[in-house]
Amino acid sequence: MSKALKIVLPLAGTAAAVIGATAFLIAPGIANKRQKAPFQGRNFAHRGLHKYDKSIPENSLPAFQAAVDNGYGMELDVQLSADDQVVVFHDDSLERVCGEEGDVTDRTWAELSALKLCGTKERMPLLTEVFSVVGGREPIIIELKRGMRNEELCQKTLDLIDAYKGPVCVESFDPLIVRWFRLNAPDILRGQLSALQEDMSRVTTRHNAFLLGNLLTNFIGRPQFIAYKIGKKPFTVRLCEAMGAMKIAWTSWDWASEDTNDAVIFEYYRPRRRFK
Kind of pairing between the strands at 263-266 and 86-88 = unpaired
- Verify cis geometry, omega within 30 degrees of 0, for the bond prior to 251: yes
DSSP 258: G
Nearest to 142 by CA among 185, 196, 98: 185
CA dist 228 → 28, 72, 76 (Å)? 14, 20, 16
CB 118 within 8 A of CB 147: no
Cα-trace Rg, the chain = 20
Round to whole Å and give the CA distance between 145 and 87: 11
Secondary structure of residue 17 in the 3-state scheme: helix
Is-contact 245 261, C-beta < 8 A?
no
- C-alpha 47/C-alpha 118 separation (Å) is 14
> Are 103 and 97 contacting, i.e. CB atoms less than 8 angstroms apart?
no
**Residues annotated as part of the active site:** 46, 90
Residue type, 119: G
Contact 258, 48 (CB under 8 A): no
